Structure 1
Amino acid sequence: MSRYQLKPRPGNGVIKAVIGWDRPLQTFFAQIFTPTDDEPEEGEATIWLGTEPGELPSPEVAIRVVEAYAEIPETLAADLATDMNATIGVKDGMHQAEAKRRLYGSIH
């Protein structure tokens, strides 16, 4: 799994934006955090996509989720693609495979 914390754009109430690659789910993910009364520093993920297998299939799709809320480094799409490509051929461990069978009925 890769994870990049991005700098929030000013004035939109976002305290953290995160994007990355999740190899077990074979999807990119994107999260936007806004402050809450209980956790003003950490906040709550008010946008969180990429929790289902294959949900965000490319770096560009994941970047579109966060680009209105965070500054996007020029190399981010290439870095995410590199992260994904580095996991080609990596198989699930026994526990990951069992969890996928229980959750999704398959290990794919």
Structure 2
Amino acid sequence: MSRYELKTKPGNGVIKAVIGWDRPLQTFFAQVFTPTDEDPEEGEATIWLGTEPGELPNPEAAIRVVEAYAEVPETLAATLAADRLVTIGVQDGAHQVRAKLGLFAPRS
């Protein structure tokens, strides 16, 4: 898994934007946080995509989620693609397999 916190753009009410690669879910992810009364500094993820297997299939899909809220370095897509490539061939452990079955197995 990789995770990068991006510098937010001023004036949009966002306090944090995060993007990365989740190997167990085989998806990129993107989060945008806004402040809350309870936690104004950390806030809550009001946008959070990439929580389902394969939901954001490439770096560009994840970048599109955050680009209105954060500054996106030119090299970010290549960095995220490299993060994915280094995990090719890594298999889930027994605990991850069981967790995925519990979370994503079809319900009858």
The one-letter code matched in structure 1 to 2:98 is E
Q: TM-score, normalised by structure 2?
A: 0.96
Cα deviation for residue 101 of structure 1 reads 1.3
Cα deviation for residue 105 of structure 1 reads 2.1
Q: What is the alpha-carbon root mean square deviation over aligned residues? A: 0.9
Q: TM-score, normalised by structure 1?
A: 0.96
* 3-state SS of 1:39 partner: coil
Match of 2:72 in 1: 72
**Identity rate, percent:** 78
Structure 2 runs not aligned, ≥5 long: none
Match of 2:2 in 1: 2
Match of 2:16 in 1: 16
Match of 1:52 in 2: 52
Structure 1 runs not aligned, ≥5 long: none
Cα deviation for residue 103 of structure 1 reads 1.4
- Distance in 2 of aligned mates of 1:7 and 1:58: 21
The one-letter code matched in structure 2 to 1:78 is A
Question: Structure 1 segments of 4 or more deviating over 6 A?
Answer: none
The one-letter code matched in structure 2 to 1:41 is E
